[in-house]
Structure 1
Amino acid sequence: MSALRPVPVPDARSAPYWEAAARHVLVLARCGRCAAFAVPPDQTCPHCHASDPDFAYEPVSGRGAVRSWTVVRQSALPGLSETVPFVLVDVELDEQAGLRMIGRLLDGPGVSLRAGDRVRGAFEEVAPGVAVPAFMLDDAS
């Protein structure tokens, strides 16, 4: 019997993110003071340092460029040992300079990657009604 995959446990701050992901919509928190995105949102805005950033979640494209990546070949987490090897990519999203997200590359561990390769947002179903943002190589690149 295989172990169950880890699933996110939303809190009040992250619930809108995970609810949108379940619908396969990528949303990120945008500061209500300076309009910059923050991943993940915190008590203060990392850009304008407002202590009352009034973050609101807004849809983003999920498109961006690969900055770096790693191939995960072993996992001590229950439920992930059946999925190795897999590739994690560090992506700078198009919406804002320096806006980075890390996610699984769904194209598989054998894919050829270079810094700057274009990716698009995708989603990985990890449990019924639970999806995690991920990436796929953009066919246009």
Structure 2
Amino acid sequence: MKQTNERLCALAQKGDAAALDSLIDNNKSFIGKVANDLFRSMNLAQSGLNLDTDDLKQAGNLGLWKAVTKFDAARGMKFLTYAAPAIRNAMMDMVRDAFTAFEQRMVTEDKDGICYQRVSLDDVLPGEE
């Protein structure tokens, strides 16, 4: 018999590793859907960030895992309703970190004809070798 997310979460909060694994397994299709939607909507395939949906799914699993410790069933909310923002936020954090780490040069020209170039500090500061 498949246990509810709420029951598995309660067991996981008590240290039951198998319950945590089952909780992640029960919600892998939801995590996969969020990862696929985010990957597509942000056009990550063309971004050059070297992120794929598996990376996002892993981040989503971590978001779900973090939600377990803070979930309070007494509030009457479904676990997945509570965990969904944490799952998405973990994925967005990964994308944001990848953008920050990505060394991209971008030249733009404003209306006054002044050019700005975005450079990485690694390109400007002398490296320690």
TM-score, normalisation: structure 1? 0.25
Q: Which has the higher helix share?
A: 2
Structure number with the bigger relative contact order (C-alpha 8 A, sep ≥ 6) is: 1
Structure number with larger C-alpha Rg: 2
Q: Which has the higher strand share?
A: 1
TM-score, normalisation: structure 2? 0.27
